[in-house]
Amino acid sequence: MSFFKKLKDKFAGNAEQEQSTEKYKEGLEKTRTGFTSRINDLVAKYRKVDEDFFEELEEVLLQADVGFETVLELMDELRYEVQRKNVRDTSNVQSVISEKLVEIYQAGEPELNEIKFADGLTVILMVGVNGVGKTTTIGKLAHRLKNEGKSVMLAAGDTFRAGAIEQLDVWGQRVGVDVIKQAAGSDPAAVMYDAVRSAKSRGVDVLICDTAGRLQNKVNLMNELEKVHRVLGREIPGAPHEVLLALDATTGQNAMIQAQTFKEVTEVTGIVLTKLDGTAKGGIVLAIRNKLNIPVKFVGLGEKMDDLQPFDPQKYVYGLFAEGLDKEEEMEEDAADK
C-alpha cells in the first residue's frame, strides 16, 4: 500500500480528522500548486530516477523554503531509499518523498507537538515580532481552547504598540473571554501580575499572555521578557508553561532569523506558523523543525476562527501531495475497470 493511501485510510471514518485534513488540503493550495506542479514537471521530464533528476528535485525543494540542511538530509535519504526499494520510475518517487518528509520531521519528540497543561492554571506566553498575526493567533487559540471546555483569560502585555490592547480586547469580546489590561505604555510585567492574580482568583484554566514584539534592541527585549518570566514564575511555580513563537510563513527565511533571535532571548517551547495558506513556500515548516529543533505546534490555514489547526506532519504532507493521492486513486480505478 502506498504512503498516500495509508494516510487517507488513517483519517477515514473520523469526521473531525477528515475535516482537519481537508483544511490542510485547502490551506496548502498555494504551496501545492507551485511545489507539486514542479514535481510533476520533473516526473514528465525524466522517465528514470538518475542523478540529473535528483539535482533538479533538490532545486525544487530549496525554492519551497525547505532549507539547505534539510534538503541535503532529505536527498541523502531519498537516494538510499530509491536504491533500497529499487525505484526506477520517477512517477513512484512522490510517495517516497512524502514518507521521508514525515520521518525527518518526526525525528524529534512528537509528543512535544501538544500544549503542556499544568495541574492548575496554565500560562501561555505568546511572543513574536509585530505584524506576524500574534494577536489574531491568541484569539484563535483562545477560541480553540474554549471549545475544548477550558476557561480562558487573556493578558494584554503588548502595551507599547499602538492599538495592540484594543485589538486584543476586540478578540476577547469575539471569543467571549475576559481581557486583563492597563493603560497604553504601562509596565507589561505589572499587567502580567494583575492577570495571574485575577486568573487564579477566578479559577481560570488557561491564561494567554500577549507580549511586545520589538526586535530593534535585543537587549531591551531580553530584559522585558526576563522580567515577565520572573513575575509569572514567582506567582505560579513553573510558569510560563509554554512560550509560543508566532512566525509569518510568508516571510520565508526571514522567519528563520526571527526564530533564532527569539530562541536566544527566551526559551521557546513551540512555533505557531501563521498565514501558511498565503505562501507558495510552505516548506519552511521543515526547515524550522530541523534546524532549530523547535516543534511547530499550530499552523494558520485561513482567516476563519477555526483555521488555527494543531500541526500534524502527516496531514501537512498530505496537503502538499493531495493531487498525487487523487491521481493514484484514478489509476487504481482505471486498472480495476480494465
The amino acid that residue 106 corresponds to is Q
277 is in an annotated binding site: yes
212 is in an annotated binding site: yes
Cα–Cα distance measured from residue 151 to residue 77, given in angstroms and rounded to the nearest whole number:
45
205 is in an annotated binding site: no
Q: In whole angstroms, how far apart are CA 318 and each of 4, 159, 230, 323?
A: 7, 40, 42, 9
270 is in an annotated binding site: no
The DSSP letter of residue 208 is: E
Cα–Cα distance measured from residue 152 to residue 115, given in angstroms and rounded to the nearest whole number:
14
293 is in an annotated binding site: no
119 is in an annotated binding site: no
Q: What share of the chain is helix, strand, coil (3-state, %, to 5)?
A: 60, 10, 30
Residue 240: cis peptide before it, omega within 30 degrees of 0:
yes
Residue 200 forms beta bridges with which residues? none
13 is in an annotated binding site: no
Cα–Cα distance measured from residue 108 to residue 276, given in angstroms and rounded to the nearest whole number:
22
The torsion angles phi and psi of 113, rounded to 5 degrees, stand at -70, -15
134 is in an annotated binding site: yes
Residue from 216, 206, 199, 228 nearest 127 by CA: 228
Cβ-proximal residues to 115 (8 Å cutoff; 6+ apart), any chain:
122, 124, 242, 270, 297
Residues 246-267 as b/e (b if ≥16 CB within 10 A, e otherwise) read bbbbbbbeebbebbebbeebbe
214 is in an annotated binding site: yes
210 is in an annotated binding site: yes
172 is in an annotated binding site: no
276 is in an annotated binding site: yes
221 is in an annotated binding site: no
Cβ-proximal residues to 187 (8 Å cutoff; 6+ apart), any chain:
159
113 is in an annotated binding site: no
Cβ-proximal residues to 84 (8 Å cutoff; 6+ apart), any chain:
none
274 is in an annotated binding site: yes
49 is in an annotated binding site: no
Q: Grid coordinates 501537512 are at which residue? A: 316
129 is in an annotated binding site: yes
State the binding site for GTP.
128-135, 210-214, 274-277
Annotated binding site: 128-135, 210-214, 274-277
